[in-house]
Chains A and B, each alone.
Chain A
Amino acid sequence: MRIDKTRHFTYLALLSAMAITLNLLETAMIPPLFGVFRIGLANIIALVTLKILGVKDMIIVNIMRVMIGNLLSGRIFGSTFWISFGGVLLSTLILVIMDKFKSSLMFTSIMSSIGHSTGQVFVVMLFYMQPLIAAILPYFLALSIPTGLATGFVAKIAVERVKPLRKADSDAH
């Protein structure tokens, strides 16, 4: 029981670290499209966590990635943080709903990507009083489909490779 708990926390810590690293790498190396739109590479880890560990742990990983990621990049509680927080909040909510409906990983990824960009736009619209930014939403919606498919595809490969490893690990104990 104790070993199971330790193993679970180890997985959670590893996935959180991966999500934070991807978040930081994307911020540092890939410039945002149109100055604001990010692909959301860390979403891959959120999807993997959802499929491997479940909803509760996915929420923890997402919170960790947005909090620690922004803390490490020195942007905590700045405008970028709140925009990113809005995106992660909505995408997490959609991931929870999609999990309830037992949707496929690819579709979950597309919807989560849409949620991520829509959340960001809503934060800019409501909290930064920029209603005209709503005009960008259709472009984000269109872009979210290929980016969601891409992240979903990578997440699917990762889940397929991690699941047998976890099973072997459980059998060994």
Chain B
Amino acid sequence: MKKKEIWITAIIAVIAVAAILIVNLVRAQNKSNVDAQASAGTATGIPTEQAVGQWVAVIHGNAADLWFDSGVDSTYTVTGDYGTMTITVKDNKWCVSSVECPNHNCEQMGWDDGTKMVPITCIPNNIIICTYDVALNYLETNS
């Protein structure tokens, strides 16, 4: 590699790291804002009762089809654009246990507890499973 190319690669790496920090900062700020709204009772869209774990939304298209409490072990089935999707909730974590779609990428994404950088997403079914803060942000952006 030429010297100039090494410099460009280093600059890209620095930009990527800086952008990762900014993304995490914005996410944390967004979460604290939503938490503040929820505790003040001004957050719209999230279920009003207190969750044992945290509220998780199953967004289909531009609307939340289902809200579930991550602290309650259960199994849910939702219908997307392609077919049905079964979500298993256990020990404050959730995963897609089965899905009707050609890719099955969302099954491969494994368990999520809200700390993963990418929420469980099934593009053929147009479904995203994300925590309340991401869900509210998403629904606001797409409304």
Contacts and interface: CB of A to CB of B under 8 A. Distances in A.
Could you tell me the dominant secondary structure of chain B's interface residues? helix
Contacts of A32: 105, 108
A164 interface: no
B1 A106 contact: yes
Given A35-B108, A80-B103, A104-B2, A145 B9 contact: yes
B20 A31 contact: no
Interface in A74-125: 74-75, 78-80, 83, 103-104, 106-107, 110, 114, 124
Which interface residue of A132, A133, A139 has the most chain B CB atoms within 10 A?
A132
B115 to A, nearest CB: 13
A107 B103 contact: no
B121 interface: yes
Interface string B112-143: 00001110110110101000001001100110
B103 A79 contact: yes
A173 B95 CA distance: 60
A138 B14 CA distance: 10
B108 A139 contact: no
Could you tell me the dominant secondary structure of chain A's interface residues? helix
Interface string A7-30: 000000000000000000000000
Interface residues of A, number: 32
Nearest to A141: B16
Contacts of B16: 138-139, 141-142, 145
B49 interface: no
A31 B108 contact: yes
A35 B106 contact: yes
B117 to A, nearest CB: 6
Nearest to A78: B102
Given A34-B117, A132-B134, A135-B117, A142 B13 contact: yes
Contact of B141 (A80, A110, A132, A139): A132
Contact of B19 (A133, A137, A145): A137
A131 interface: yes
B124 A107 contact: no
B105 A35 contact: yes
Nearest to B117: A139
A74 B20 contact: no
A136 interface: yes
Contacts of B2: 103-104, 107
6 contacts: A107-B2, A133-B118, A136-B118, A137-B19, A141-B19, A145-B16
